[in-house]
Amino acid sequence: MTKKANYFRKKTKNWWLIDHKPRWGLTLQGWLSILLLTTIVIWLIGSQLHPFLAYTAPVKAEILVVEGWIEDEGLVGALTEFRRSNYQFLMTTGVPLDRGMYLSEYKNFAQLSAATLITLGLDKSKSIVIPTPEVKKDRTLAGAIAVQQWLAKNKIKITGMNVYSDDVHTRRTWFLFRKAIPESIAVGAIAHPSVRYEAKSWWTSSEGVRKTLSELIAYCYVRFFNWQA
């Protein structure tokens, strides 16, 4: 029997169109293991990715920092947070407006959001406007550095600050502020939830998919490659 098998192998090697080669293949258990692993990964992405990026972990703080580019509904949420907690000041950050600047009395998002908050009822004496220099990239980092420089210039001593941002952008904001602000100051984060899609089923909305996946890429970029840019 062995001689026959060897003869057959030798013979098939001489054929031009057919060749016999042994190969490795997955068993049924192997395919089931891959299916199980794939299911677990999909479940983790679907259930854990959004809350990871929409990071909320406030600390005891004297200052609430609001990214000025967030929408008006986010500013309403920020004002609610300011009134609910024992903050001393509310800071707004923001780069120059990218549209309507020549028609508006406000030249940057820091001024625009501060004016909106004051109109909504914020005590003007509690508002601090921190314009961010115009930059081509890394706007969030530029805003964090501007806050750090303002604190140092004015010799403001605080023990903590919370950054208030939009939905899945918050993890990246918190990471960059934590890097820019001195370690003696605790940095917390509060994510304003989106009203355009359900966070628990973000993958069922085109905007949810677009925002969540793009923010994941952006966070990985600053986290592992370019937060110092």
Residue 57 neighbours by CB under 8 Å, 6+ apart: 174, 188, 189
Per-residue pLDDT reduced to its tens digit, 92-128: 999 999 888 778 889 999 999 999 999 999 999 999 9
pTM of the model: 0.81
Residue 1 has pLDDT above 60, yes or no: no
DSSP state of 163: E
Residue 3 has pLDDT above 60, yes or no: no
Secondary structure of 51-109 as H, E, C letters: HHHCCCECCCCCEEEEECCCCHHHHHHHHHHHHHCCCCEEEEEECECCCCCCCCCCCEH
Residue 150 neighbours by CB under 8 Å, 6+ apart: 128, 130, 156
> What CA–CA distance (Å, rounded) separates 204 from 216?
17
* pLDDT score, position 147: 98
Whether domain 52-226 has CATH 3.30.43.10: the reply is no
Give the torsion through C-alpha atoms of 10, 15, 18, 20, to 10 deg: 10
Contact 208, 197 (CB under 8 A): yes
| Alpha carbon distances (Å) from 49 to 56, 135, 174, 206 | 13, 29, 16, 16
Contact 112, 75 (CB under 8 A): no
Mapping DSSP to helix (H, G, I), strand (E, B) and coil, where does residue 161 land?
strand
Confidence category of residue 14, pLDDT binned at 50, 70, 90: low
The number of beta carbons lying within 10 Å of the beta carbon of residue 186 is 16
